[in-house]
Structure 1
Amino acid sequence: MSQPVAGSAESGWDSVSAVNPQESIDRLLRDLRTRRTGLTDREAARRLVVFGPNELTRRGGRTWPRDLVRQLVHPLALLLWVAALLAQVSGAGALAVAIVVVILLNALFAFAQERHAEQAVEALAAYLPVTVRVVRDGIPRPVEARELVPGDVIVIEEGERISADARLLTGAVEVDLSTLTGESLPLLREAEPFDTRGPVLEARDLVFSGTSCTEGEATAVVFNTGMHTELGRIAALSQRVGHEDSPLEKQVKHVARLIALVAVGMGVAFIPIGTLAAGLSLGDAVNFAIGLLVANVPEGLLPTITLALAVAVRILARRGVLVKRISAVETLGSTSVICTDKTGTLTLNRMRVTRVWTLPQVLDLTGPPPEVDAPSATARLVRAVVACNNAELDLVPPSDERGDPTELALLHLAVALGLPHSRSGTERAAQFHFDPELRRMSTVDRGPDGVRVHAKGAPEEVLRLCGRVAGPDGDRALRVEERDAVGQVVTRWARDGLRLLAVAERHIDESELPGLTRERAERDLTLLGVVGMTDPPRPEVAGAVARCHSAGIRLLVVTGDHGLTARGIAEEVGIGRDGLRVVTGAELDDLPEAELDELLATGEELIFARSSPEDKMRIADALQDQGHVVAMTGDGVNDAPALRRADIGVAMGRSGTDVAREAATMVLTDDNFASIVAAVEAGRRVYDNVRKFIVYIFAHATPEVVPFLAYALSGGRIPLPLTVMQILAIDLGTETLPALALGRERAEPGLMSRPPRERTQNVIDAPMLARAWGLLGGISAVLVMAVFLVTLVQGGWQLGDDVDSGPLHHVWQQATTMSFLGIVACQIGTAVAARTQHASLRQVGVFSNRLLLWGFAYEVVFAAALVTVPPLQEVFGTATPEAWQVLLIVPFPVLVWGADELWRWTVRRRAARVLAGHPETEAARAAAAPRP
C-alpha cells in the first residue's frame, strides 16, 4: 500500500497520534498507516515534521531567572547585602552602591560559569548519540533515536535502551521496567496476542521508552514518541532536577560560611573598638566594619571552582573520557583502586582465532590457513560457531562488521578456512542467550540435515555437558583420558594468554521443539573442539599501569575469562609486580565476607577470573568498606548494578551496552585502560588547582585586614591604609583573572607519584591556611604597611597627625594608593608562588602558564588605570604615584614568591632526608611525599 502524504486530508495524522496500542496487531498497523517492513525514508521524514523529534522537552519554561536569583541569595551574597544596607543607613551611599555592584557582577559571573559548566556536561551527549536500528524501506539501519516516528519498525536487541513506546511484532525480550514501575526484576515481553483489558504497563507485548532490554531480540512497531510516551507523561509531571553540589563544592561552601562568620565577628567587634579606643564616630566605625567584612569575603571562590571543574570535563572529553556528572571530576583524583576488565580495556579487543583443537587434529592459524574437508570435525565446528552466532560480517566492499568481537573472530575463522560465514540455509528455531553465570550460549537451528542444538562457552562449562566427542571416524563416547587431554590443552593455551571457547552440538527431533527448555537442550552434547583466540594488549597500557603503581593505585582484574588467560595478559602489562594470585568465581562464592575482607586488605594485586556481575558488586562493597575510592569498569547489562555501586563507574563507549553507559559515571569512547589513568590524573590536577587558587585568594585577606587592625589598635593615630572602595577593586578587579588562570595550571611534577588522598581529607586544611594567611599573607601585609608608612613619613606625616584635610590629605591619598598597588604587586608574587605546592618554579616552568601571564598584564593595566585616570581616581580615592614610589613596590612579587620558594625548598629537603634514612621501604616514600 502507498504511504500517506503528510498534511493531506487523507493522511489521517489525528488517527495516527491517537491509536490504541492494545488493539489487534493488524488494526494497529492499519491505524498507524505502516506495515511490518516499516516506513520509507521519505514518509519518516514527513512524519518527523508533524510529530517532532523523539525527545523529552522541559516543561518548566526558562530556568535561567531562577538560577540567577540563586546566585543573588547565596550566603556570601547575603552577607554583602547586609553590608550594603548598613552602608546606606550610615550615610555612605556611594559605598552602598559599590557593594551592590560587586554583588551583581559576582552573581553574573558565577551564573555564567555555572551555565558554562552545565553546557559542558550536556554537550557530551553529542559524542555518544543514542541510536536505534530501524527498518526503513525494508532494510534495518541505525538512525538517531530522536528521529523515530510513530509507524517505525525497530529492532530491539540485548543490552540496548528502548527509545520509544512500541508493540512487539516478532520475538521475545526481557525488559527492565524499573524506570517506570520500580520493579527490580526484568519482565518477559513476547509478540503474542494476550488479554488486553489490563493496564498498559502490564501488557505483555508492549515495551516503553526509557526501559532497557536485558535479554532477547525482537522487532516492534512504534506507536508513541517524545512527550507522548509513558516516560514523557512522567516527565511532564516532574520538575527539573536541581543543582547538586559536588563534595568539593560542599567543603568550600562550608568553609566560606565559617569565613563569613569570622568576617561578621570581626566587623561587629570593630565597632566598639573603633568608637571607644580610636574615638571614631559611630558612622565611621560602621563603615570600617563594613570594610573588614568585605575584605574577608572570598567572592570569587565558588565560580572559580565551578569553572575549573567544567574545563576539566571538556579536556577529558577531548581525550575520549566522557564524564557525565561534573562533580565526579573531583572524585576521580582520589581513586585508590581500579577494578578493570581485561577484554577491550587492557587488550585491543581485536579477537582472531589462532588455534583450533579437535580430536583428529590441531590447527595453527598463525601461518597460511590449512585446507579443511567438508565432513571433518573441524568443518562441523566451524558450522556450529557460525550458527551459534549473532554477529554480521559483510565482505563485499565496503566491508562491514557488526557484533561482539569474539563472535566476529569466529566468522573470520570460517572465512580463513574457506567455509560459509553466514547462516543462510539454516533457520533459527530458538536461542538461549549468553548467561554470565552459566558462561555459555546455545541456539537451536533447523537446516538441511535436521534440527541441531549448537553451543559454545567456557570449556569447563561446556565439557561437563558433553557425553560424546567428534573423532576422526565419527562420534563416540567421551572417555576420561580424552577429558584430561582437553583439560591439558585448555591449561596450556590459557597459560599462553589465549581466550578459549569449547564448541558442541546435538541432534534433536522436530517433535522436541515445542516447549524446549535450556536445560533439556543443553544436555548430552557432542564435543566438537576448542577454539583459542588471541587479543593482544594495548601498547599504551603497560605505561599506564606503571603510572598507577607510582601513584599508589592498586589494580584488580575482574574478568569472565579463564584465570590463566587473564594472568598472561596482566603479567604482560605489568600488573602484579610481587606475584599475582588468581581467585576463580567458584572460590569467591565460597569465601565468607570476613575472608574476602582479609584477602582484599593484603594490598596485593589480584585476578578475579570467571567472575559474575554479582562478584563485581561484592568486591566493590568490600573495598569501599575498607575506605577505598573504587573505579569499576563494565560493559554488559548485568554490570550496571556494580557500575552504580562503585564510586566511579566506567562504561565502555564502543563495546558497552546502553544500559552500562546509562549506569556509569564515566564513559570511555575508546574503551582504553590508559584513558582511565588519564582521567585520574586530570582529577588530581583539578583538585590541586583548586587548592592553588584557594591559597591565592585567601592570601590577600591578610594584607586587606591588617590595615584596619593597625588603624584600630593605634587608636586612630595611624590613618586607614586602605579604603573600602580599593578593597572592592582588588577583590573584583585584579584578583579574578589570575585565579581563573591558576585553575588551568598544568599538572605539577610528581603528581602521579603521590599516594591517593584519603576519602575524608578536606580541601582546606590547617597547613594550607598557615601558608596562605601566615606566610604569603603575612609577608604581603608587612610589605604593604611598610610602603604605606614610608609614603606618609616621606610626605611629612607624624604619628597622630590628621589626614582628613589640609596638605596631608593628598599625602594620605598617595599612601593608600601605594597600599593598593602594593597588594596588587604582592598578588603577582602570590600567584607565582601558588602555581606549585611542592615543586620549584623552575620545575613547572616560569612561562608555561600563558593565561596567567595575560592575567598579570590585565592586573597591571587595571591598577594603572585606577591610579592615573581622573574619573577613576575620584571614585576610588587614589592619586598618581611618583616614580620613586613605584620603584619601591617593584621587588614585592620577588620577595613574596622568594619566601614561599625558600619554604618549599626546606620542605623538600626535610622529605628527602626522611626518604634517605629509609630508602628500602615504599612506606617511607609515601610518608615523605607531601600530601596533596
Structure 2
Amino acid sequence: MSETASGETDHAAPVDPLEALDRLLRDLRSARTGLSTRDAQRRLGLSGPNELVRRSSEGWWRALSRQLLHPLALLLWVAAALAALSGSVPLAIAIVVVIGLNAAFAFVQERHAEQAVEALAAYLPQRARVIRDENETEVDARELVPGDVIVVSEGDRVSADARLLDGSAQIDASALTGESTPVPVSTDSGDSHVPLILARDLVFSGTTCVTGEVTAVVYATGMSTELGRIAALSQRGGHEESPLEKQVRRVARLIAIVAVGLGLAFIPLGTLLAGLSLADSLNFAIGLIVANVPEGLLPTITLALAVGVRLLARQGALVKRISAVETLGSTSVICTDKTGTLTRNRMTVTQAWTHEGVLDFQDLSMPPAATSAPGQLMTAAVWCSNAELAQPPGAKPPDGTKPEDGTKPEDTGIGDPTELALLRAAAKLGIDPHRSKKDRLAQFHFAPDLRRMSTVDRVGNTVVVHTKGAPEEVFPRCTHIADGTTPRPLTDEDRATIEAVVDDWAARGRRLLALAERPLAPSEATENLTRGQAEQGSTLLGIIAMIDPPRPEVPDAVDRCHSAGIRLIVVTGDHALTARGIAESVHIGKNGLRVIGGDKADAMSDRELDAALAGDDEIVFARSSPETKLRIADALEQSGRIVAMTGDGANDAPALRQADIGVAMGRSGTDVAREAAVMVLVDDNFATIVGAIEAGRRVYDNVRKFIVYIFAHATPEVVPFLAYALTSGGIPLPLTIMQILAIDLGTETVPALALGREKAEPDLMRRRPRPRSQSVIEGVMLARAWGVLGGVSAVLVMGLFLLTLVDGGWTFGADVGSGELHDTWRQATTMTFLGIVACQIGTAMAARASRTSLARIGFTTNRMLLWGIAFEILFAAVVVTIPPFQAVFGTEVPDLWLLTLLIPLPFIVWGCDEIFRWWLRTHD
C-alpha cells in the first residue's frame, strides 16, 4: 500500500482480495463494522466515484466533416466545381445542396443510433446498502469506496467487487462468466489458488444476488473492478471500415480515373481531329467529366443502408452504424453464445424418473395424482426450494391486465432459475408451488464442493429433511428408494437402473437433480442436527432432468445459415455436454460437431487455435473465458473470415468490439455488451441475426444494382462525343452538356434511389458469402453495364439521332449551326436525350436482377421504381415541351412518328440483358 504526502493511505492502490481476511481488512484500513461517513468521504476523493468511464467519442463536427469528405462526396465537389466552370452555377449550387443533405442525413442516422443504445454509465445500480458509522444505510452506488462494508440480499445487484465477511448466497454471475447457472458463494469457501473470477468468497460488480444474504468488504470500485477491466479492454482500438466502405473508396477512384481520363483524352481529339478551338475542347472535356460523375451514387448508397437500418429495427435489431448493415451481409462465420440466444434462457423440467417409470413433462395428457411417485418427487422439490413464483397458476393480476411481454403470471417469479423450473413443473401436476416460510425449521445451503442442499421442514405433524443435488452426491446418502407408501432398501439392480438413466440423460446435455427425503425421529432435535446426520439414510424419490430449451425458430434460422454458406461456432461458458446437446438440437454441426473445452482452448497457442479454426466444420467452445472469445474472433479475422460475434455479458465486450460485427442482446444483455457491439438485438433472438444477414446481403446487392444502372448510362453519354471527335465534326454533337446534366441529376437519380429499395432476390440466401477481398465491381458487371446495357443503348440512341438528322435533310459534314438544319439538329439532340431516357427505363428494370430472370422477381413488385419511372417521363416531358426549359436545355418537340420510335427501346434494352443473364446462369 502506498501513502500520500499527507500520510493518508491511498485506498485506490490494489490489494490482494484472496489474502487472509484479517490481513485484507488491515490493508484496506477497514473493519467488519464498516467505515465512518467522514472516512468514506475522504476516500472518495482518492479513489474517485464508483462508475465506469467511457472513452470519449469523436466530436460532432468531426463526424460531420467525415461525411463531407467521403471519397464519393469529394467527387460530387468536383462535379459542382466543373458545373460552375461550365457556366451552370445554379446546377453547381444544386449539387452542393445534395452533398449537404446527404452528409446531414448520414450524420443524423449514426448519431441517433449511437444515442439510442448509450447506457453504459447507467449499468451500475443507483443505490447500495452499506454500513456506515456502524449503522446500515443506503447511499448512491457512485459513493462506494474501497473499505466500505456492503449488504447484498436476494434481488440486489452487486455494486462493487467485494470479499465476503458473513453469510452465503447464490449469485447470477452470467454477466461476467457466461455461466447460466447461479454460483454459490459463502465465507467458508475461500481458495487462494484459483483465478479471481472463480473464487467462491468474492462477489463482483454487475452480478446479481438470486437467493441468500451476505455482507462483504469492498476492495475495488469503478474501473478497478472486474467489470471495469473488461469495459476498458472492450474500448481498445476503433472500428475498422466496413467492407462496403473500403469498396466504395475503390469505386470512387475508378470513377475518377475513368472520368478524368476521358475528359483529358477528348482535348487533343477535339482540337486535332475535330478542329475545335482549345476553349471548346476544354468545355466539352468538362462535359465528359460531368457525364461520368454519378451524382446520385452517394445518396443512393446512404439511402440503401438507411433502409436496411429501418428494416432491421422493425425486425428487432438496432444498428449503431449504418455501414454495419452491409458488414452483416458479408458475414461468413457467426460466433454465437448459447444461453438466451439459441435458447430461451428459461430452465424447464423435461422428464422425471421414479420407481414407476419415466414421466415426460412435455406430454402430460393425463397428469399423475399428487400422491403418486412423481407427485411425491415434485412435492419434495417444492419444499427444498427458496424460489417463489409470482402468484398461483391461473390467478389474475389485481388490475385484470396482462403482462406487457406476454409472459404468463405463473411463469414469473423470484429466485434461482432451476428452482423456479421445479416449481412450474410441480404446478403442472396440480401441486401447490407455494409453501409457508414458517414451516422451514433449518437449511443446509448449497455448497459448491458438496453440490447439494437440504432443508428441514415441518410437514403436518412430521419433521422431514428434503435433499436435492447432483445424483452422484445424493445417491451415496440414500439407503432406501420410494416404492408406494413404504420405502424399500436400494438394491444393486436399482442402482444399475438409475445409473443408466443418469448416463443417458447426461449424454443428451440435460441438467440432472436427484431428490431424497428422510423423516426425522421424534428423538432427533433439529437445533443440534448436523448436515451429515440429516442427510444420511435418506430415501431416494427420483431423478429430474431439465434443459434450457432452444428457441423454436432457431433450427430454421440455422438451416438458412447453412444454405447461405455461413459457418456457426458456439462459444459459451456452459458445460460441454449441455452446449453440445443444444447445438445439435438446433441443427448446428449437422455434418459433425467438435467440442473444445475451455481449458484446452486456453492452453492452445495462436498457431494451434488457427489450425483448429481453419476448416469449415462447426465447433462448440465450452467453458470459454473472455480472452478465448477474443482470440477466436481475432484468429478467424486473420484467416480472412468476416465474423459476427454475439454476446450478452460484460465478459463478451472485448470480443464484440474485436469482431467485424458485434451483436449484443437487448433484453438479457448487459449495457457493457451493448456499448461494445455495433448491433443490439431487441428480442435476443438468433433468428433476427439471420434476418439481419439477409438484409445486409440485400443492401450489397442493391448497391451493385444501381452501380450497374449508373455505369450503363456512361456509354450512351460518351459515345456521342467520341462520334463527333472521331469524324472530325462530320457528325454533329448528338447531345449537349446541359442535356447530360439533365439526365444525371434529373431523370437518373430517382430510379437509382428506387433500386436501393429493391427486395431480395429468391436465391439471395443460397449464395456463398463473398470473400473479404471481393470487389464491389467485377469484370462481369462492367461487361454488362458498359457492353450490354450501355452498348445496346448507345447503338439505339445514335440510330435515333442519325435518323432524325437524315429525315430533316442533313448530309455528312453539313453545317448545323444555322438555318433549317439547326432546327433539325435541335430536334435530333432532343431525340438523343429522350432515347437515353427511354433506355434508362429498360436499364432500370433490367438492373433489378443480378442473375435471376425478372419474371421470377415480378415486374411490379418495386412500386417506388414505378413511381421513379413516372417521374422520369414527366421530367423529360417538361424539359422537351415547356418553353423556358426548352431554352435552357436546347430541346425541341420532335415529330409524333419519331416519338413512337421510343416505345420499343426499353423492351429492347431489357430483352438483351435478359439474354445475357440467361447466358450467365447456364454457364456457371
**TM-score using structure 1 length:** 0.70
Cα 1:29–1:493 change in 2 (3 A) is: same
SS in 1 for 2:335: strand
Among 317, 320, 338, the alignment partner of 2:316 is 320
CA drift of 1:121 comes to 2.5
Contact between 1:134 and 1:155, CA under 8 Å: does it hold in 2? Answer: no
SS in 2 for 1:744: coil
Among 284, 292, 296, the alignment partner of 1:296 is 292
Report the counterpart of residue 104 of structure 1 in structure 2. 96
Contact between 2:382 and 2:422, CA under 8 Å: does it hold in 1? Answer: no
Report the counterpart of residue 867 of structure 2 in structure 1. 854
CA drift of 1:670 comes to 2.8
Aligned residue pair count: 803
Report the counterpart of residue 501 of structure 2 in structure 1. 489
CA distance in 2, matches of 1:542, 1:87: 56
Q: Does 1:247 align with 2:243?
A: yes
Report the counterpart of residue 142 of structure 1 in structure 2. none
CA distance in 2, matches of 1:825, 1:360: 80
Q: Which amino acid aligns with 2:420?
A: L
Q: Does 1:869 align with 2:876?
A: no
CA drift of 1:828 comes to 0.8
Report the counterpart of residue 198 of structure 1 in structure 2. none
Q: Does 1:393 align with 2:405?
A: no
CA drift of 1:315 comes to 0.7
Q: 530-539 or 65-74, which moves further after superposition?
A: 65-74
What is the percent sequence identity of the aligned residues? 58
Q: Does 1:412 align with 2:424?
A: yes
Among 631, 643, 661, the alignment partner of 2:674 is 661
| Deviations 1:509-535 (CA, angstroms, capped at 9, x unpaired) | 999x9xxxxxxxxx9999997531245
Contact between 2:331 and 2:642, CA under 8 Å: does it hold in 1? Answer: yes
| Deviations 1:645-700 (CA, angstroms, capped at 9, x unpaired) | 43333333333333333333333333333222222211111111111111111111
CA distance in 2, matches of 1:743, 1:829: 17
Among 105, 110, 113, the alignment partner of 1:121 is 113
SS in 2 for 1:667: strand
Report the counterpart of residue 761 of structure 1 in structure 2. 774
Cα 1:535–1:243 change in 2 (3 A) is: closer
Report the counterpart of residue 920 of structure 1 in structure 2. none
| Deviations 1:859-880 (CA, angstroms, capped at 9, x unpaired) | 0001110111111111112112
| Deviations 1:439-465 (CA, angstroms, capped at 9, x unpaired) | x98899999999x99996xx5xx8479
SS in 2 for 1:889: coil
Among 621, 642, 653, the alignment partner of 1:629 is 642
Cα 1:379–1:721 change in 2 (3 A) is: closer
CA distance in 2, matches of 1:641, 1:430: 39
CA distance in 2, matches of 1:379, 1:689: 57
Cα 1:344–1:150 change in 2 (3 A) is: closer
| Deviations 1:353-411 (CA, angstroms, capped at 9, x unpaired) | 2445689998765553554799x995896368623x6x763446423435665442134
Report the counterpart of residue 738 of structure 1 in structure 2. 751
Cα 1:615–1:115 change in 2 (3 A) is: closer
| Deviations 1:802-861 (CA, angstroms, capped at 9, x unpaired) | 222222222222122111111111111111111001110100001111111000000000
Report the counterpart of residue 4 of structure 2 in structure 1. none
| Deviations 1:619-651 (CA, angstroms, capped at 9, x unpaired) | 444444443333333333433344334333333
Contact between 2:160 and 2:206, CA under 8 Å: does it hold in 1? Answer: no
Contact between 2:270 and 2:276, CA under 8 Å: does it hold in 1? Answer: yes
CA distance in 1, matches of 2:93, 2:159: 48
Cα 1:607–1:674 change in 2 (3 A) is: same
Report the counterpart of residue 832 of structure 1 in structure 2. 845
| Deviations 1:68-112 (CA, angstroms, capped at 9, x unpaired) | 7666655555556566666766xx5x32x0442242232134135
- 5 Å-filtered alignment, 1:446-465, equals 459=470, 463=472
Report the counterpart of residue 368 of structure 1 in structure 2. 367
Q: Does 1:274 align with 2:270?
A: yes
Contact between 2:815 and 2:821, CA under 8 Å: does it hold in 1? Answer: yes
Report the counterpart of residue 141 of structure 1 in structure 2. none
Q: Which runs of 5+ in 2 are unaligned?
A: 1-29, 42-51, 129-139, 145-149, 177-185, 187-202, 217-226, 228-236, 398-408, 519-525
CA distance in 1, matches of 2:541, 2:905: 82
| Deviations 1:278-302 (CA, angstroms, capped at 9, x unpaired) | 2222221121111011111122212
| Deviations 1:177-230 (CA, angstroms, capped at 9, x unpaired) | 99xxxxxxxxxxx9xxxxxxxxxxxxxxxx99xx8558899999xxxxxxxxxx
Among 325, 334, 338, the alignment partner of 1:338 is 334
CA drift of 1:744 comes to 1.0
Among 815, 820, 838, the alignment partner of 2:833 is 820
Q: Which amino acid aligns with 2:106?
A: E
- 5 Å-filtered alignment, 1:564-583, equals 566-583=579-596
CA drift of 1:901 comes to 0.5
Q: Which amino acid aligns with 1:386?
A: S
Contact between 1:305 and 1:690, CA under 8 Å: does it hold in 2? Answer: yes
Cα 1:79–1:579 change in 2 (3 A) is: closer
Q: 584-593 or 315-324, which moves further after superposition?
A: 584-593
Contact between 2:77 and 2:96, CA under 8 Å: does it hold in 1? Answer: no
CA distance in 1, matches of 2:175, 2:281: 66
Among 890, 898, 906, the alignment partner of 1:893 is 906
Q: Which runs of 5+ in 1 are unaligned?
A: 1-21, 32-53, 137-147, 179-189, 191-206, 221-230, 232-240, 514-522, 912-932
CA distance in 2, matches of 1:786, 1:371: 91
Report the counterpart of residue 649 of structure 1 in structure 2. 662
- 5 Å-filtered alignment, 1:630-779, equals 630-779=643-792
Cα 1:215–1:815 change in 2 (3 A) is: farther
CA distance in 1, matches of 2:678, 2:215: 30
Q: Which amino acid aligns with 1:105?
A: V
Q: Which amino acid aligns with 2:782?
A: L
Among 784, 790, 793, the alignment partner of 1:780 is 793
Q: Which amino acid aligns with 1:767?
A: V
- 5 Å-filtered alignment, 1:441-480, equals 459=470, 463=472, 468=477
CA drift of 1:254 comes to 2.7
CA distance in 1, matches of 2:494, 2:606: 38
CA drift of 1:251 comes to 1.5
Report the counterpart of residue 182 of structure 1 in structure 2. none
Cα 1:82–1:816 change in 2 (3 A) is: same
Contact between 2:440 and 2:457, CA under 8 Å: does it hold in 1? Answer: yes
Report the counterpart of residue 879 of structure 1 in structure 2. 892
Report the counterpart of residue 283 of structure 1 in structure 2. 279
CA distance in 1, matches of 2:650, 2:890: 67
Report the counterpart of residue 304 of structure 2 in structure 1. 308
- 5 Å-filtered alignment, 1:189-200, equals none
Report the counterpart of residue 260 of structure 1 in structure 2. 256
Cα 1:529–1:258 change in 2 (3 A) is: same
RMSD: 5.9
| Deviations 1:147-188 (CA, angstroms, capped at 9, x unpaired) | x99999x999999999999xx99999999999xxxxxxxxxx
Report the counterpart of residue 546 of structure 1 in structure 2. 559
CA drift of 1:491 comes to 2.2
Q: Which amino acid aligns with 2:503?
A: T
Contact between 1:426 and 1:445, CA under 8 Å: does it hold in 2? Answer: yes
CA distance in 2, matches of 1:117, 1:697: 25
SS in 2 for 1:799: coil
Contact between 2:175 and 2:649, CA under 8 Å: does it hold in 1? Answer: no
SS in 2 for 1:386: coil
